[in-house]
Amino acid sequence: MGGLSAILGLIALAGFVVFIAGAGLAVVAASQGRPARGGVLLAILGLIVGLLFSLIGQGVVIVEPTQVAVVVNSLSGQVDEPKRAGLHIVVPVAQRVAIYYPITQQEYTMSASSSEGARQGDDAVVARTSDGQTVNLDVTLLYRIPPESANSLYLDWNENYLDGFIRPTARSIVREVVSAFSAEQIYGEARAQLADDIDTALAESFTAENLELTSLLVRDITFSPEFTQAIEQKVVAEQNLERARTDAQRVQAEAAGQAQAQIAIAQGDAQSRTIRAAAEAEALRLISEQIAANPSLIQYQYVQNLSDNVELILVPSNSPFLFDFNSLAQGASGLVAPTVDSPLVTPEATPTP
């Protein structure tokens, strides 16, 4: 479509060239006393073609797909409906295209790096936190011009919306939002919240000025070297403290586990002793019942446990016996009655003569 405008312009230019050539021929012919009719006709034809195609070129408006055209009525001074992509016819002289706005997404960057950004050199936004620390922010704005708002933007800002609105507004809002945070908050977890707050405030301002903020990128935040060093030292100290707390908790847990284990062992041992004592008591009770029912049982058990080659037993004569010696003597051959006084029962075995 841009080629059509160029073609119309070339035809108009050719017509004016023909007009000048015809006029020249007419002058030369008249100076030589010859008829100038041919030169005059040629000049008239060239003038008509030049004016006609010039008017046609002015009346044909070609808008690219990435543009929107603001058309101004020269007679009334009002703006007409914005022209979207395509070929449009306007009234020459009475209407004109005042400006073509891009409707694609645009970006505006303010950065400390001299190799990027809308301006050369250090263009980062310098702001001060609530605790008086200075921070530098690299910020990129992604925005677009809504086609339906092109006329309003033209009436408010014309071509000056970048330096007149976007740049000063963005820098001001960034400084305002940063002042609500401390440097330590921005250094830590509040960085995302900072970007969200800036985005919200800027989006409202852009909408009010017939622009659309599509995204805000806080690309880098730089603190003073002294503050950065202090924060790093604090982080290291907190990490060491947390490590010490973790070690202390681990030692405490191990000690508690060992104590519980010892308690469990002691309880188990106590239960074992209780059970064993109860078993022994029950055994003794049963033995006592059996001895009471059968007094000779202990004598029988004693004899059964004697060695096979025992022929002589010595027992004290002045001590109470645990069993009936007479019945024992009758029940075992080679046993002799006690003849030696002794505080203890001492069995001795001698070979048979």
Per-residue pLDDT of 125-152, as tens digits, reads: 999 999 889 999 999 999 999 999 999 9
Q: Which residue has the tokens 């909408």?
A: 207
Angle in degrees, 0-180, between the axes of helices 37-59 and 2-31, rounded to the nearest 10: 160
Strand partners, 184: none
CA dist 171 and 306 (Å) reads 113
Residue 31 CB contacts under 8 Å (≥ 6 apart), including other chains: none
Instruction: Kindly state the average pLDDT of the residues 72-93.
Output: 86
- Output the pLDDT for position 260: 83
Task: Dump pLDDT digits (tens) for 252-280.
Answer: 887 788 888 888 888 888 888 888 888 87
**Dihedral, CA atoms, 72, 73, 77, 83, nearest 10 degrees?**
-30
- Output the pLDDT for position 232: 65
Instruction: Kindly state the average pLDDT of the residues 178-189.
Output: 90
Average pLDDT, the chain: 81
pLDDT of 197 strictly over 90: yes
Better-scored residue on pLDDT, 22 or 191: 191
Q: How many helices (H) and strands (E) does the chain have?
A: 10, 8
DSSP notation for 114-180: TTSSSSSS--PEEEE-TTS-EEEEEEEEEEE--GGGHHHHHHHHTT-HIIIIIHHHHHHHHHHHHTT
Tokens of 193: 């919240």
pTM exceeds 0.95, yes or no: no
pLDDT of 318 strictly over 60: no
In which band, very low, low, confident or very high, does the pLDDT at 349 lie, cut at 50, 70 and 90?
A: very low
- Output the pLDDT for position 319: 52
Q: Which run of H or of E encompasses 342?
A: none
pLDDT of 87 strictly over 90: no
Q: Which residue has the tokens 């009758």?
A: 330
Instruction: Kindly state the average pLDDT of the residues 112-123.
Output: 85
In which band, very low, low, confident or very high, does the pLDDT at 340 lie, cut at 50, 70 and 90?
A: very low
Better-scored residue on pLDDT, 322 or 155: 155
- DSSP 8-state assignment for residue 310: -
- Output the pLDDT for position 95: 86
Could you count the other beta carbons within 10 Å of the beta carbon of residue 88?
17
**Percentage above 70 pLDDT, the chain:** 79
Better-scored residue on pLDDT, 205 or 286: 205
Instruction: Kindly state the average pLDDT of the residues 233-248.
Output: 74
**Dihedral sign for Cα atoms in the order 285, 286, 289, 291:** negative
pLDDT of 335 strictly over 50: no
CA dist 42 and 49 (Å) reads 11
Among 84-98, 115-129, 171-185, the range with the most confident prediction by mean pLDDT is 171-185
In which band, very low, low, confident or very high, does the pLDDT at 34 lie, cut at 50, 70 and 90?
A: confident
Tell me the residue ranges of DSSP E strands in the chain: 60-63, 67-73, 86-89, 95-102, 106-110, 125-128, 134-144, 212-223
